[in-house]
Every structure is written in structure tokens, then in C-alpha cells.
């Protein structure tokens, strides 16, 4: 059953997800290199921005390319285990200039996947539990109905990108709102168990908004397409393309504001909530 969203959704309570969503194949062109030092440049970036190492066979990864990327750069433990609040705040702040309050929101979302009572940590592989943070309608992963690995899927990602003008160099908030909604709708047609709930939707919109801010800026939201594609395809920060973290901290309030704008810009003739 397809359901239209009521725009009474409380953006003020937006549980912006840990999942900006998902994980690139270890066999990719960059992942095949066990370790590579990015050429240093006078950019003010931190040492971890310049060094990237592919995950090894004993490392775990999440259905979240941001977390995986931070581990590949060793802002977070490279093995993907024992992620604590302090580690999350430091990593997200150091790597992407995400404010502590927003980083705490991300962390608390991840903590929900740990089955241990009163746990204060989580491992990346815990995040694969369906419909907690991981969800159908990913920008870059096949739905779990088809593939439980939650690895990067080039066809899915290319399908999402097909909703943008091929000449667009910046993926704006309005354009991304339309692309995200249409992409999810098309995925719903082939997955008989496709689900997007009123809990999933704010997570999904929050993920897209974060891409507008991290690969754009707080002052000018909108993802640089080259940075955006490089990040998803390689699970690597696009430092060698010229990216640096924004100078203004990314705070909860700007994510809430842009999430409301993205929902408002979603096409009225496309459902936003789905149940099997």
C-alpha cells in the first residue's frame, strides 16, 4: 500500500540518521589499494584527511558510507568496532565540522541497534538491522529484500543520479528532494516488501540534507556533484579533488530547517510513505 505523507511531520523532532547511506565494494579501484597517502597540500586539513586505508578482512563496515569513510580515514576505529559517544563526536567534528549536539543525535541513533541492555557503544555491523537506521529506498544500495550485504550498488546509485540534469554540477535541495522521492517510488515497484514509515522518512531526508551541507556548505547548501559521487563510489573524503570541511559548524537547527524545505519540495504526485 502506498501512502501520502502528512506534512504535519514533526521536523523539530527529526532523528537525523547515522546512515547517510551505505558501503562501497572492497574490489573497487581505490579499495584495491591497501593503503594510499594523499598528496599533502596547504589546506589546514588534519592528518587523517590525507591517509586512507581499505577495510581488511577482520574489519566490519556499516550500511552507512559516512561511518565507513571515517573508519577508512581512521577518524573512527578502522575495525569498525566499539564506537562510543566521545569517538563519534570527535570524528564527526574533526572530519566534517559537525557540531557535538548533532553528532550526539547520530550516535544515539546507532546505539539503538546494540542489543546489549544499557550499552554505551555499538559496532558497525549492528547497524544492518532492517528498519532501525538501515532502510529501503537507499540512494546507493539495493533493498535488503534483494541484497543483505548493504554494499554499494552502482546500478542503484546511477539510477538515483539519473533524476538530475546530466550537466548539473551542484545537486540542490529542491532537485534532490524530487530525485530522492522518485527514486524511492521506482524502487517500491520491484520490492514486494518495500517499506518507508513515518520513522524512516525523517532519517532518509536527513541523510540527503547532510549531503547538501557536507559537500556544499551551511551558507550555500547543495552538494558539489563531483565530491558527492567520489564519496559514494569510493567511501573516501574527496580531499584530492579540493574538498575541505566547511568553516561553519553543521548544527541541528540547519538540518531541521533544510529537512522541512526538502519535504516541501517533494513532488505532490509521488508517495513518500509506503507499506507492503
pLDDT at 61: 98
Cα distances (angstroms) measured from residue 79 to each of 60, 68, 71, 124, 151: 6, 10, 7, 9, 17
Residue spans per domain, the chain: 2-274
- Output Rg (C-alpha) for the chain, integer angstroms: 17
Residue pLDDT, tens place only, 112-125: 999 999 999 999 99
**pLDDT tens for each residue of 91-148:** 999 999 999 999 999 999 999 999 999 999 999 999 999 999 999 999 999 999 999 9
Q: How many CB atoms lie within 10 A of CB 117?
A: 5
Higher pLDDT, 39 or 225: 225
pLDDT at 27 over 80: no
Mean pLDDT, residues 147-161: 97
CB 221 within 8 A of CB 258: yes
Share of the chain above pLDDT 90, in %: 84
Q: Is 120 helix (H, G, I), strand (E, B) or coil?
A: coil
pLDDT > 70 in the chain, percent: 84
CATH fold of the domain at 2-274: Chloroperoxidase (1.10.489)
Amino acid at each position: 500500500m502506498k501512502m501520502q505523507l502528512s506534512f504535519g511531520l514533526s521536523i523539530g523532532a527529526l532523528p537525523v540518521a547515522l546512515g547517510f547511506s551505505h558501503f562501497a565494494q572492497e574490489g573497487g579501484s581505490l579499495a584495491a589499494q591497501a593503503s594510499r597517502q594523499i598528496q599533502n597540500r596547504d589546506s589546514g586539513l588534519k592528518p587523517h584527511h590525507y591517509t586512507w586505508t581499505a577495510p581488511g578482512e577482520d574489519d566490519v563496515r556499516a550500511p552507512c558510507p559516512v561511518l565507513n569513510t571515517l573508519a577508512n580515514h581512521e577518524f573512527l576505529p578502522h575495525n569498525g568496532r566499539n564506537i562510543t559517544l566521545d569517538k563519534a563526536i570527535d570524528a564527526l567534528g574533526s572530519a566534517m565540522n559537525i557540531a557535538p549536539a548533532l553528532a550526539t543525535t547520530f550516535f544515539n541513533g546507532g546505539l539503538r541497534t546494540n542489543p546489549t541492555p544499557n550499552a554505551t557503544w555499538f559496532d558497525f555491523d549492528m547497524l544492518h538491522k532492517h528498519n532501525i537506521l538501515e532502510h529501503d529506498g537507499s540512494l546507493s544500495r539495493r533493498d535488503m529484500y534483494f541484497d543483505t550485504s548493504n554494499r554499494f550498488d552502482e546500478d542503484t546509485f546511477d539510477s538515483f543520479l539519473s533524476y538530475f540534469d546530466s550537466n548539473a554540477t551542484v545537486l540542490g535541495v529542491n532537485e534532490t528532494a524530487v530525485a530522492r522521492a522518485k527514486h524511492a517510488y521506482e524502487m517500491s515497484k520491484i520490492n514486494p516488501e518495500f517499506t518507508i514509515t513515518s520513522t524512516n522518512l525523517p532519517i532518509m531526508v536527513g541523510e540527503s540534507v547532510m549531503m547538501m551541507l557536507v559537500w556544499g556548505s551551511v551558507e550555500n547548501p547543495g552538494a558539489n556533484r563531483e565530491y558527492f559521487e567520489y564519496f559514494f563510489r569510493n567511501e573516501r573524503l574527496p580531499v584530492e579533488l579540493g574538498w575541505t570541511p566547511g568553516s561553519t559548524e553543521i548544527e541541528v537547527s540547519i538540518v531541521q530547517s533544510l529537512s522541512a524545505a526538502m519535504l516541501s519540495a517533494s513532488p505532490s504526485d509521488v508517495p513518500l510513505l509506503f507499506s507492503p
